[in-house]
């Protein structure tokens, strides 16, 4: 499952957002709070295409794609979370920065400055990774003297690049790496290598002009970097929306001039930042969205559904969701030649509806 860790200074709204995203307290929380212990919960990926496919098939079950979130008690700054597995293993980091001015500011700086905080946490990510990099480079040197290192040259070279970047204040995510180097680095689980989503927590007064508020927060510099995005939200408003029924929530959002809850935007932005796409399986029993990395081949997509389907993969019957929704049935799509039979080299596209043929 895709996973993201919530990071940020105290009282920025991480736990509030975590509870909202994962509907903590209802059904989705596991793990427990404690020192250096993260709470893990899952959020459904909102997807209007899945809603519409379900309206067509009226299945017994509708299952959305999910993203797991981790939340650390207290200050979830790199210094505290560097040894927490849920964060090291996360595919992305969600940095909640405070732009709302209401309420106490408990951390050392004592004032609200989103750009300053974003930069401070970024520097901690970089320092944490620099420590790991230097330790490993020393180790390779020692092993080389003993003649024991496995593939020391490639590793030393790519770690050297990392060190150079980190020493100059740049995160590892800013490096252009080829596939093999990227794979080699994956084992280190560098924090600054993970895509970063800045969740800018706004005052209620600012949601009408959220993009303007993000700009005024001074985050343009960070946002010009590779694999960094921002999404504005007001946790306080999200809390209020969560207490309303669907119709009242819709009216409330319309009142504020918002097309959808901020929580939806956060989950979708995380999903897109990670370069994931969705394909669908449909039927009377179940309509379901599945996540795969962009660029995945049909057998890998089959493997997301079931390992047997990947092992015994024969063909994929593929139709675009828009065609299916327009025609109203798979049979009609077939009659119009819109259902394609694809082989093992087919690159799955976002929004494909797929039926896998496999041998058991």
Q: Which window, 12-20, 111-119, 161-169, 247-255, contacts Mg ion (CB under 5 A)?
A: 12-20
218-226: Cβ within 8 A, 24+ apart:
218/113, 218/114, 218/115, 219/97, 219/114, 219/115, 219/118, 221/115, 222/115, 222/118, 222/119, 222/122, 222/198, 223/198, 225/171, 225/173, 225/174, 226/173, 226/174
Strand partners, 175: none
Distance CA 352, CA 318 (A): 6
77 vs 310, beta carbon nearer ligand GDP: 77
Taking CB under 6 A as the criterion, the residue among 39, 173, 194, 236 binding ligand GDP is 236
User: In the complex, what is the shortest distance from the CB of residue 142 to Mg ion, in angstroms, rounded to a whole number?
Assistant: 40
Strand partners, 297: 347
Draw the binding track, 89-118, toward ligand GDP (x: CB under 6 A; -: no contact): -------x---x-xx---------------
Supply 104's token pair: 């106490």
The reply on whether position 22 binds ligand GDP by CB under 6 A is no
The closest alpha carbon to 190, from 150, 225, 154, 163, belongs to: 163
Q: Which window, 14-22, 272-280, 283-291, 299-307, contacts ligand GDP (CB under 6 A)?
A: 14-22
199 vs 298, beta carbon nearer ligand GDP: 199
Work out what residue 201 binds among Mg ion, ligand GDP, none; the CB cut-off runs from 5 to 8 Å by kind.
ligand GDP
User: In the complex, what is the shortest distance from the CB of residue 201 to ligand GDP, in angstroms, rounded to a whole number?
Assistant: 5
Distance CA 264, CA 120 (A): 27
Q: Which window, 5-13, 115-123, 220-228, 332-340, contacts ligand GDP (CB under 6 A)?
A: 5-13
State the number of binding residues for ligand GDP (CB under 6 A): 16
The reply on whether position 232 binds ligand GDP by CB under 6 A is no
Pairing of strands 66-72, 276-281: unpaired
User: In the complex, what is the shortest distance from the CB of residue 190 to ligand GDP, in angstroms, rounded to a whole number?
Assistant: 23
The reply on whether position 12 binds Mg ion by CB under 5 A is no
102 vs 359, beta carbon nearer ligand GDP: 102
The reply on whether position 66 binds ligand GDP by CB under 6 A is no
Task: Assess contact for 96 and 21: CB atoms under 8 A.
Answer: no
Q: Which residues does 190 contact at the CB level (< 8 Å), separation at least 6?
A: 129, 132, 133, 162, 172
The closest alpha carbon to 300, from 345, 270, 341, 268, belongs to: 345
User: In the complex, what is the shortest distance from the CB of residue 107 to ligand GDP, in angstroms, rounded to a whole number?
Assistant: 9
98 vs 288, beta carbon nearer ligand GDP: 98
The closest alpha carbon to 282, from 198, 354, 207, belongs to: 354
Q: Which window, 9-17, 25-33, 112-120, 181-189, contacts ligand GDP (CB under 6 A)?
A: 9-17
Sign of dihedral through CA atoms 54, 59, 62, 65? negative
User: In the complex, what is the shortest distance from the CB of residue 33 to Mg ion, in angstroms, rounded to a whole number?
Assistant: 9
Q: Which window, 4-12, 124-132, 211-219, 221-229, contacts ligand GDP (CB under 6 A)?
A: 4-12
| Residue at token pair 């935007």 | 265
Taking CB under 6 A as the criterion, the residue among 14, 264, 288, 327 binding ligand GDP is 14
Instruction: Find the largest Cα–Cα distance for the chain.
Output: 70
262 vs 299, beta carbon nearer ligand GDP: 262
Distance CA 250, CA 244 (A): 9
The reply on whether position 54 binds ligand GDP by CB under 6 A is no
Distance CA 193, CA 248 (A): 41
Taking CB under 5 A as the criterion, the residue among 15, 19, 22, 133 binding Mg ion is 15
User: In the complex, what is the shortest distance from the CB of residue 13 to ligand GDP, in angstroms, rounded to a whole number?
Assistant: 3
Which positions lie near Mg ion, rule CB under 5 A? 14-15
Which positions lie near ligand GDP, rule CB under 6 A? 8, 10-16, 96, 100, 102-103, 201, 234-236
């Amino acid at each position: 499952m895709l996973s993201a860790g919530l990071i940020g200074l105290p009282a920025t709204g991480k736990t509030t957002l975590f509870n909202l995203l994962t509907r903590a307290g209802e059904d989705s929380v596991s793990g427990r709070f404690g020192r250096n212990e993260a709470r893990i919960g899952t959020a459904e990926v909102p997807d209007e295409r899945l809603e519409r496919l379900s309206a067509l098939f009226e299945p017994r079950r509708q299952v959305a794609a999910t993203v797991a979130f981790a939340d650390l008690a207290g200050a979830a700054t790199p210094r505290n979370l560097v040894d927490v597995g849920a964060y090291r293993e996360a595919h992305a980091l969600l940095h909640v920065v405070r732009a709302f001015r209401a309420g106490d500011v408990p951390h050392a700086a004592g004032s609200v400055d989103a750009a300053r905080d974003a930069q401070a946490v970024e520097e901690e990510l970089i320092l944490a990774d620099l420590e790991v990099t230097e330790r490993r480079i020393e180790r390779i040197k020692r092993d080389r003297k003993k003649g024991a290192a496995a593939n020391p040259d490639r590793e030393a070279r790519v770690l050297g690049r990392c060190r150079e970047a980190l020493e100059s204040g740049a995160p590892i995510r800013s490096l252009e790496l080829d596939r093999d180097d990227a794979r080699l680095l994956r084992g280190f689980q560098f924090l600054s290598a993970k895509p970063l989503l800045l969740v800018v927590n706004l005052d209620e007064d600012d949601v009408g002009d959220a993009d303007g508020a993000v700009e005024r927060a001074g985050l343009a510099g960070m946002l010009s970097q590779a694999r960094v995005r921002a999404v504005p939200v007001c946790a306080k408003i999200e809390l209020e929306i969560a207490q309303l029924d669907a119709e009242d929530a819709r009216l409330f959002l319309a009142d504020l001039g918002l097309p959808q809850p901020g929580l939806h935007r956060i989950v979708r932005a995380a999903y897109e930042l990670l370069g994931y796409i969705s394909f669908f399986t449909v039927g009377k029993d179940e309509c379901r969205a599945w996540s795969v990395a962009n660029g995945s081949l049909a057998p890998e997509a089959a493997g997301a559904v079931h390992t047997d389907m990947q092992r015994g993969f024969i063909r994929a019957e593929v139709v675009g969701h828009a065609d299916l929704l327009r025609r109203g049935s798979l049979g009609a799509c077939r009659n119009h030649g819109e259902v394609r039979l694809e082989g093992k080299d087919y690159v799955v596209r976002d929004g494909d509806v797929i039926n896998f043929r496999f041998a058991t």
